[in-house]
Chains A and B, each alone.
Chain A
Amino acid sequence: MALSLEHLDTITSAVNAKEKAFEKIVRVCCGTGCITSGANRVFESLVKAVDSGGLASRILVKKTGCHGLCERGPIVMLGKDEILYQSVGKRDVAADVDLLLKTVTEGKIADALLFKVAGKKEKFVSPLDIPFYKGQKRIVLSMNGVINPEEIDDYIAHGGYRAPFRAFQMSPEEIIDSVTKSGLRGRGGGGFLTGKKWRSARAARGSLKYVLANGDEGDPGAFMDRSLMEGNPHAIIEGMIIGGYAIGSKQGYIYVRDEYPLAVSRLSKAIDQARSYGMLGQNVFGSGFDFDVEIYRGGGAFVCGESTALMSSLEGKSGEPRDKYVHTVEQGLWDKPTNLNNVETWANVPHIVNNGLGWYTSIGTKQSKGTKIFSLVGKVNNTGLIEVPMGITLREIIFELGGGIRGKRQFKAVQTGGPSGGCIPAQYLDMQVDFDSLTSIGSMMGSGGMIVMDERNCMVDVARYFLRFLTEESCGKCTPCREGTRRMYEIVDRICKGEGKIEDLLHLEELGKALQWGAICGLGQSAPNPVLSTIRYFSDEYKAHIIEGRCPAGVCKEITTFSIVEEKCTGCMRCSAECPMGAIVGEKKEPQKIDDLRCITCGICYDVCPFDAIKIG
């Protein structure tokens, strides 16, 4: 029998009834980050303790997907937004499990596990009060941390898979119209109007068409898509079913990068479960329409996040892009009309269909509607994933949600858009974050990576880092990118080493322009962005390297030395304790000395010294 809404409602009632029977639901985050911190052990121990304590009928222990607060993992949530515990089991699994149980059975809040910001006294009990969560508007991530991503019934019970029923009542043109009017723009970096792309794909000639989900997320520093694919895989499938119907495609592929094995397995399981319910396969949702999805794993090539390279990879070839003089919506995968969207874009679709245009367009700015998931990492106190409405300012993101800069340091720059983006200095902190504003100042939204830097990050080194990355990841097909990225790298490397010349800056701009115009694909075309944006906003730093042979941030090893200021050194020996090379010598309470021959200029001593007694030279 074909799937019906009643069927989903029955499942929903059953899940709700089951969960209501428990006194408390304890959700243990089991995303990649928390697993790294030991979440699996916490989950297993907790389940055992609940069983052996005779509490199995009172406490339901659930595994959930990635919350986004990965640095503080393992994260455990009690009840519905009642209590959030961080770093559970990091020091002692048994002890913390005990604390968890006591919270439920005795109402005793475990102070040691509460969220707090380093250096501040305030502790938070409910996640709703934590600034990191308070400032968010979790729509796409709404079910992350709530449902068990390996249980389709859980997704259904929380409202999942209703949108296709609604969509199949509409005509494909009506859906496309709706998505277009919603203003949804590609979340992978291009920011192209999704509805417009769907319209072109629908209009393209041919009956065999494909819909693709880009889960290649290669931008280093970005893990939004990982979290979504691991924590709520059904959201992507649901979106693709609607998109497939709208465009007239029966076959979808989700391309997941090789470095995300958990995402691959969660998506595979989700697809199997969806198939068993008649949501994928033939006559999906009783609509008379066939649609299925297959997963493809990447092979560790960043360039395969580019649409034509991704399609080449799907065809079993190497990931070389091609010129897009003929668009992929007309000739894409196997030369057939293909609609490619990022996984986050797909996950927005069911919400638009369920809640309508009025609701969606009320969020965001004029030209950038809806929310965006960002990975806020680097030198902020609260690092992790945040979903915020477009139009929020950088200052709010970094200083409220992010809790400000770590330690006693100052904000220096925030890098957005990954290797295709640029560095934004303090003067733009009050800028509203949306597609066009970021582009207007020489950066871009990209996939959502937001890397915060302080005065101990060297912007020339950052430019060098991205150029090294792009040189390695260039597919090598076209001359400008293959040769240009490595030559740009060589120039910036020389500058980092104190061998730069003042002509280098103009040279980099010229070479950059040639790549922007001459390269085949986005990788080469945007490769100059990091170096050009840092030259634009941090030219003083470049000049210090070139003219003075000095790295003000103390990062570029060839031109940096660390030395101890004797008058300030109290001999506390914190530096020598942390020095990985044993390069600091001295008696307790006597001024220490750094042995230059052993020193690897890592700067850890400088960062830990409580007395400012180490100087960068």
Chain B
Amino acid sequence: MVELSINGKKITAEEGEALLKIALREGFVIPTLCYHELLGSSGRCRLCVVEVHDSGRKRVVASCLYPAKEGIEVFTDSDEVKLVRRTVLELLLARNPSAELIQALAKQHGVTEVRYTPDQDKGKCILCNLCVRCCKDIVGVSALGMSGKGPLKKVGPPFDEPAETCIGCGACVVICPTGHIVMEEEKGVRTVWQKKFELATCPKCKRYHFPLFQLEWISKTRKIPMEELMVCEDCR
């Protein structure tokens, strides 16, 4: 256990624990975008930055990754922190002008104008990488990934084609913080990341539920017979 302070308040925590977790637990408010309880820390968005004074050295660090150490002083709202947050949000608003979440966060953190020409081609994707991690670590099919570098960096299925391993589960849609990823359903067909999935019909209530492809995948990987899976979750 180590002793540190956040905004002057003395706190005890496990050595090495991420400052973000400690701060949230203690009731401090730190905005995040690319952090998720189930998927851990990425350090990409830089919205969660805090100022740390460690052995006489002042740094601005990503609180989702910085480990708790004995004697450090943490400040969640210093001028430098506010500058980085405002800058991140103004830049993201320029990149994703239609993203409601970013609009709200920007307003909340004092961004009153966007001094850049807004992009038109990035949709609402902030490159938080949550969809990629979710598809890999929770679902386990790795149908999404990052490609390119710098300004050309983007997220999507490999080779920009419908992913062979995608099971159409829609987890990425749920986890995406801005709603960039969309899933459409029409006449028993679900389309996500340009891949079409025929939806299974529940033999009991006759309604569409999961994609057949997803059920087949669950059947194969978890050794559950298809007949069981065909029955929708409500009817089971």
Contact A517–B80 (Cβ < 8 Å) = yes
The answer to whether B87 touches A514, judged by C-beta atoms less than 8 angstroms apart, is yes
CB pair A480–B151 under 8 Å, yes or no, is: no
Q: Which residues of B contact A301 (CB under 8 A)?
A: 149
Is A323 a contact of B87 with CB atoms below 8 Å?
no
User: Do B151 and A482 have beta carbons less than 8 Å apart?
Assistant: yes
18 A-B interface contacts by CB (under 8 A): A318-B146, A322-B43, A323-B61, A323-B65, A472-B150, A472-B151, A473-B150, A474-B150, A474-B151, A476-B127, A476-B148, A479-B44, A480-B91, A482-B150, A510-B83, A514-B83, A518-B46, A518-B88
Residue B115 at the chain A interface, CB threshold 8 Å: yes
| Across the A-B interface, the 9 shortest Cβ-Cβ residue pairs | A476-B153, A514-B87, A483-B91, A518-B84, A474-B150, A517-B60, A476-B150, A518-B46, A479-B88
Interface locus among A65-73, A335-343, A377-385, A484-492: A484-492
Q: Does B66 contact A (CB under 8 A)?
A: yes
- One of B47, B86, B91, B152 near A484 (C-beta < 8 A): B91
User: Of the candidates B80, B86, B151, which one forms a contact with A486 in the assembled complex, judged by CB atoms under 8 Å apart?
Assistant: B151
A residues 298-344 in Cβ contact with B at 8 Å: 301, 318, 322-323, 325-326
Q: Give the shortest distance, in Å, between A472 (CB) and chain B (any CB).
A: 6
Query: Considering the chains assembled together, what is the distance between the CA atoms of A476 and B65 in angstroms?
Result: 18
Chain B, interface size: which category?
20 to 34
- Say how far A289's CB is from chain B's closest CB, in angstroms: 34
**A476: min CB distance to chain B, Å:** 3
The answer for the CA separation of A356 and B45 in the assembled complex, in Å, is: 49
Whether, in the assembled complex, A90 has its beta carbon less than 8 Å from a beta carbon of chain B, the answer is: no
* B146 partner residues in chain A, CB cutoff 8 A: 318, 476
Asked whether any CB of chain B lies closer than 8 Å to the CB of A264, the reply is no
Q: How far is the CA of A56 from the CA of B146 in the complex (A)?
A: 60
How would residues 359 to 378 of chain A score, 1 for a CB under 8 Å from any chain B CB and 0 otherwise? Answer: 00000000000000000000
Q: Are B151 and A325 in contact (CB under 8 A)?
A: no
- Complex CA gap A555/B86 in Å reads 35
Distance, CA A475 to CA B129, complexed state (A)? 14
Kindly state the separation between the CA atoms of A326 and B41 in the bound complex, as whole angstroms: 15
Instruction: Answer whether residue A471 sits at the interface, using C-beta atoms and an 8 A cutoff.
Output: yes
Return the contact of A480 from the options B67, B84, B95 (Cβ within 8 A).
B84
Bound together, the chains give a CA A483 to CA B115 distance in angstroms of 13
Tell yes or no: B94 within 8 A of A by CB.
yes
**Interface contact A325-B66, CB-CB below 8 Å:** yes
Contacts of A511 in B (CB 8 A): 87
Contacts of B45 in A (CB 8 A): 478-479
Does A513 reach chain B (CB closer than 8 Å)?
yes
Which residues on A are within 8 Å of B, measured CB to CB? 301, 318, 322-323, 325-326, 471-480, 482-487, 490, 507, 510-511, 513-514, 517-520
Which residue of the partner chain A has the closest CB to B69? A325
Are B150 and A490 touching (Cβ within 8 A)?
Answer: no
CB within 8 Å of A: which of B94-118?
94-95, 115-117
Bound-complex Cα distance A510 to B44 (A): 21
Query: Is the beta-carbon distance between B83 and A487 smaller than 8 angstroms?
Result: no
Closest residue on chain A to residue B95 by CB atoms: A483
Closest beta carbon of chain B to A513's beta carbon, Å: 6
Task: Give the Cβ gap from B96 to chain A, nearest Cβ, in Å.
Answer: 10
Q: Is the CB of A514 within 8 A of B150?
A: no
A478 contacts B46, C-beta separation under 8 Å: yes
- Give Cα distance in the complex from A356 to B168, angstroms: 67
Please determine whether B87 and A477 come into contact, CB atoms closer than 8 angstroms.
Answer: no
Cβ of B49 within 8 Å of any chain A Cβ, yes or no, is: yes
Complex: chain B residue closest to A503, CB-CB: B115
Given that A301-B149, A322-B43, A518-B49 are contacting pairs, would A480 and B87 also be in contact in the complex, using a CB cutoff of 8 Å?
yes
Which residues of B have CB within 8 Å of A474?
149-151
Give the residues in chain B near A513, CB-CB below 8 Å.
80, 83
With A472-B149, A476-B150 already in contact, 13 other A-B pairs whose C-beta atoms are closer than 8 Å: A323-B61, A476-B152, A479-B88, A479-B92, A479-B127, A480-B46, A480-B84, A482-B151, A513-B83, A517-B49, A517-B60, A518-B88, A519-B46
Q: Looking at the complex, which one of A472, A483, A485, A517 makes contact with B92 (CB distance below 8 Å)?
A: A483
Enumerate chain B residues within 8 angstroms of A485, measured Cβ to Cβ. Answer: 150
Question: Once bound together, how far apart are the Cα atoms of A484 and B115, in whole Å?
Answer: 12
Chain B residues contacting A484 (CB-CB under 8 Å) are: 87, 91
| Residues of the B chain whose Cβ atoms lie less than 8 Å from the Cβ of A326 | 67
In the complex, the answer to whether B43 meets A480 with C-beta atoms within 8 Å is: no
Q: A511-B87, A518-B60, A518-B87 are in contact. Are A477 and B44 (CB under 8 A)?
A: yes
Chain A residues with CB under 8 Å of B95's CB are 483
CA gap between A483 and B66 in the complex, in Å: 23
B94 and A483 form a contact (CB under 8 A): yes
A507-B115, A514-B83 known; A520+B91 contact, CB < 8 A: no
Q: How far is the CB of A434 from chain B (nearest CB, A)?
A: 23
